[in-house]
């Protein structure tokens, strides 16, 4: 949100988006520019970009129905849309703003154009597919790169000699066009990105602070991440049927890929398999947000499988039973979400704003200084909320000096609940403690006075 604030309110354009797990490599900037629109409409309210994210996931849901109905059957579309709607992955992607979450709706567009291209391999559809691939570089580059390689391979197989050299040149040109802001940034900053990529292949750089791992460990890690994605694509991964659904999906993927003579389903299944193979080249641990873009592929395959199996007498009963189990899991999650009453918590906007309001009201309109402790160390969320809410509601921002009256706002680390005490006693040890208050949300607020300043 601070980066979006810089674009919208400070008028500072950017060539890069959020950082990635690889040192010196960034997402494309389109993510910030898209979220700049709802941020500007909401006058900085950080909840407005979330409205945009939710709308994007609804587009993905509708896209699942359209794809299933248009290319398979009406019931396949309904099943795919249902699975997308209750998927814990999609629910999480509708809950908070994060660039990888926008890979879901983009993937529905990509699949739609790809299926149209399979029916009529025109240049128009080909370019639409490439544009979707290029867009992914602005939301999760760790997903975009492997998927680009997979589609390059697929087009090579499907078009054979016709793919080279004209179509291959168009493919590369379109992808490079979407990467152009990153290239400009790289040139302006002494080739920090390209240098990092080159160091990766030479073994001199690391991903998220990790070192190279043996191939066997990498394969096991990547397999676990894919399993986790499958577990959480349909129900909560702790649900008893999550492993059963995963086993079923692996079975129907093999069926579509090997035995079922349906070109679209075979290619769709191959995408999942090929993505896993390509990720094996990446010598570090992968994370769940790298691969959540595969969720639309997974639920579409499962939706088509549900349709085929429901046409059998016993199959219809089994599918109905599975749908009831999935629905009960979704209903339970909704019940917890909307019936558990809390005070905002330290991780929610509501709780953070309540803590900020308490300090401002306690200061009584007088200038004060503020120091903040968070488990991740960074205070970006509070910096933004102070700028948006504190400045708007109270007309001024707190200072950052240990003078006069100053406050310490601590967000406890529940894994290390004593850690904030060490910060208060060592890092910020100046001043006489006037009052210590624990809010219902869990925040610890301490009011201090510099001993050299009188009341």
Per-chain mean pLDDT for the chain: 88
Residue 296 gets which letter from DSSP? H
Query: Does residue 139 have a pLDDT over 90?
Result: yes
Of 50-54, 192-196, 322-326, which gets the smallest average pLDDT? 192-196
Window from 94-98, 106-110, 387-391 with minimum mean pLDDT: 94-98
Q: Is the pLDDT of residue 286 over 60?
A: yes
Least confident of 15-24, 41-50, 79-88, 103-112: 15-24
Q: Does residue 410 have a pLDDT over 80?
A: yes
Burial of 422: CB neighbours in 10 Å, binned 0-12, 13-18, 19+: exposed
CA distance to 51, 144, 151, 246, 316, per residue, from 35 (Å): 10, 20, 28, 35, 43
Q: Which pLDDT score is estimated for 405? A: 86
Classified as helix, coil or strand, 139 is coil
**Non-local CB neighbours of 141 within 8 Å, separated by 6+ positions:** 20, 25, 26, 27, 28
Question: In this model, does residue 143 exceed pLDDT 50?
Answer: yes
Q: What is the mean pLDDT of residues 272-286?
A: 88
Q: Which residues contact 8 (CB under 8 A, 6 or more apart)?
A: 36, 39, 40, 44
Question: What would you measure as the largest C-alpha separation in the chain, in angstroms?
Answer: 84
For residue 341, the Cα-to-chain-centroid distance in whole angstroms is 26
Token reading at 320: 């109905």
- When pLDDT is averaged across residues 207-229 and rounded to a whole number, the result is 76
> Would you state the structure tokens that stand for residue 345, as one six-digit string?
């918590």
Percent of the chain with pLDDT over 70: 93
CA–CA distances in Å: residue 265 to residues 6, 70, 119, 249, 297: 45, 14, 13, 13, 10
Distance CA 233, CA 223 (A): 15
Flag whether pLDDT at 204 surpasses 60. no
The reported pLDDT for the residue numbered 125 is 97
Tokens at 254, concatenated: 């093999």
Asked if pLDDT for residue 343 goes beyond 70, the answer is no
**Does residue 7 register a pLDDT over 90?**
yes
Distances from the Cα of 102 to the Cα of 59, 116, 178, angstroms: 11, 22, 16
Q: Cβ(303)–Cβ(86) under 8 Å?
A: no
Strand pairing category for 369-373 and 405-410: parallel
Going by C-beta distance under 8 Å and a sequence separation of 6 or more, which residues neighbour residue 241?
235, 322, 325, 326
What pLDDT band is residue 193 in, cutting at 50, 70 and 90? confident
Predicted TM-score (pTM) of this structure: 0.88
Higher-pLDDT residue of 401 and 451 is 401
In which band, very low, low, confident or very high, does the pLDDT at 209 lie, cut at 50, 70 and 90? very low
Cis bond upstream, residue 270 (ω within 30) = no
User: pLDDT digits over 23-36, tens only?
Assistant: 778 999 999 999 99
Cα–Cα distance for residue pair 218/241, rounded to 1 Å: 27
The first and second tokens of residue 82, run together, are: 């249902």
* Per-residue pLDDT tens over the stretch 230-241: 888 888 877 888
Residue 203 has pLDDT above 70, yes or no: no
Please determine, for residue 208, whether its predicted confidence score (pLDDT) is greater than 90: no
- As a whole number, mean pLDDT of residues 258-268 equals 82
How far CA 248 is from CA of 144, 225, 243, 258, in Å, comes to 27, 17, 9, 15
**φ/ψ of residue 369, rounded to 5:** -115, 150
Residue 245 binned pLDDT confidence (cut-offs 50, 70, 90): confident
Higher pLDDT, 373 or 140: 140
Residue among 356, 357, 392 at smallest CA distance from 42: 392
The confidence score (pLDDT) of residue 300 equals 95
Q: How far apart are CA 441 and CA 410, in angstroms?
A: 12
């Amino acid at each position: 949100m601070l980066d979006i604030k810089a674009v919208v309110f400070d008028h500072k354009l950017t060539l890069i988006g959020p950082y990635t797990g690889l040192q010196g490599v960034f997402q494309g900037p389109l993510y910030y520019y898209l979220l700049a629109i709802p941020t500007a409409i909401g006058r900085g309210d950080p909840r407005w970009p979330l409205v945009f994210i939710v709308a994007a996931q609804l587009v993905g849901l509708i896209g699942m129905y359209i794809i299933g109905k248009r290319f398979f059957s009406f019931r396949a579309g309904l099943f795919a849309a249902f699975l997308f709607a209750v998927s814990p992955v999609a629910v999480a992607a509708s809950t908070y703003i994060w660039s990888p979450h926008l890979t879901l709706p983009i993937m529905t567009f990509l699949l739609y154009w790809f299926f149209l291209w399979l029916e009529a391999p025109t240049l128009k559809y080909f370019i639409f597919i490439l544009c979707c691939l290029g867009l992914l570089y602005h939301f999760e580059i760790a997903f975009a790169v492997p998927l680009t390689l997979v589609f390059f391979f697929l087009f090579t197989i499907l078009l054979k000699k016709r793919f080279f050299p004209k179509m291959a040149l168009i493919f590369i040109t379109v992808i490079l066009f979407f990467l152009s802001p990153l290239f400009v940034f790289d040139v302006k900053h002494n080739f920090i990105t390209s240098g990092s990529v080159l160091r990766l292949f030479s073994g001199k750089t690391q991903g998220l602070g990790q070192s190279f791992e043996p191939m066997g460990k990498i394969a096991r890690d990547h397999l676990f991440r894919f399993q986790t994605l499958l577990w959480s694509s349909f129900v909560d991964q702790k649900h008893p049927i999550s492993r059963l659904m995963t086993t079923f999906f692996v079975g129907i993927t093999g069926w579509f890929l090997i035995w079922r003579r349906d070109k679209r389903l075979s290619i769709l299944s191959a995408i999942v398999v090929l993505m896993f193979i390509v990720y094996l080249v990446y010598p570090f641990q992968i994370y769940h947000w790298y691969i959540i873009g595969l969720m639309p592929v997974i639920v579409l395959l499962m939706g088509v499988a549900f349709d085929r199996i429901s046409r059998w007498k016993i199959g219809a009963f089994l599918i109905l039973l599975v749908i009831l189990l999935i629905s009960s899991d979704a209903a339970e999650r909704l019940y917890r979400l909307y019936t558990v009453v809390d005070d905002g918590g330290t991780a929610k906007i509501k709780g953070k704003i309540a803590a900020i309001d308490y300090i401002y009201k306690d200061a009584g309109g007088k200038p004060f200084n503020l120091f903040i402790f968070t488990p991740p160390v960074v205070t970006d969320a509070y910096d933004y909320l102070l700028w948006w809410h504190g400045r708007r509601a109270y007309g001024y921002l707190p200072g950052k000096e240990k003078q006069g009256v100053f406050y310490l706002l601590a967000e406890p680390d529940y894994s290390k609940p004593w850690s904030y005490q060490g910060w208060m006693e060592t890092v910020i040890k100046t001043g006489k403690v006037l009052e210590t208050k624990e809010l219902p949300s869990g925040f610890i607020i301490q009011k201090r006075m510099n001993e050299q300043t009188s009341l």
